[in-house]
């Protein structure tokens, strides 16, 4: 004999105190724990990065790469060694215009040769 949820679904997802529920009913009844979009630790890293980014771009308002299609003014922070553990390492930052930033990530071999990627 097939068991059914109160809504009539035969796809039982969870059994709570002898009552059976499908995935939709579990969601409606709040059986799923909502996850944070950003952890507390990452939130602090992001807050520090925001300050570092603003200060760096104020001190370096012009694009530091000047590659083909450069629009002169720095709007992006490029992390020469990637983000991860280097997210707030200001010595790995480069102030770039959007065009140069896209060029670097579209041409990684040339960017490595120029020292823009490690």
Domain count, the chain: 2
Helices (H), the chain: 23-29, 40-59, 98-106, 108-114
Q: Which range of residues forms the domain containing residue 23?
A: 1-34
91 and 75 Cβ atoms separated by less than 8 Å: no
Evaluate if pTM is beyond 0.85.
no
Q: Are residues 44 and 69 in the same domain?
A: yes
Helices (H), 18-39: 23-29
Q: Are residues 21 and 69 in the same domain?
A: no
Q: Are residues 93 and 53 in the same domain?
A: yes
Q: Which two tokens stand for residue 34?
A: 């909502």
Round to whole Å and give the CA distance between 94 and 77.
6
Q: Are residues 51 and 17 in the same domain?
A: no
Q: What are the tens digits of pLDDT across the range 30-86?
A: 777 777 888 999 999 999 999 999 999 999 999 999 998 999 999 999 999 989 898
pLDDT of 1 strictly over 60: no
């Amino acid at each position: 004999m097939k068991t059914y949820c109160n809504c009539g679904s035969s796809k039982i997802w969870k059994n709570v105190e002898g009552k059976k529920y499908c995935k939709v009913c579990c969601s409606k009844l709040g059986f799923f724990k909502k996850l944070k979009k950003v952890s507390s630790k990452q939130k602090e890293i992001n807050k520090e990065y925001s300050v570092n980014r603003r200060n760096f771009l104020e001190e370096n308002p012009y694009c530091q790469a000047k590659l083909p299609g450069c629009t002169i003014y720095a709007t992006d922070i490029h992390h020469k060694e990637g983000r991860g553990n280097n997210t707030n390492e200001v010595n790995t930052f480069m102030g770039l215009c959007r065009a140069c930033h896209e060029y670097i990530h579209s041409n990684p071999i040339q960017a490595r040769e120029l020292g823009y990627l490690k």
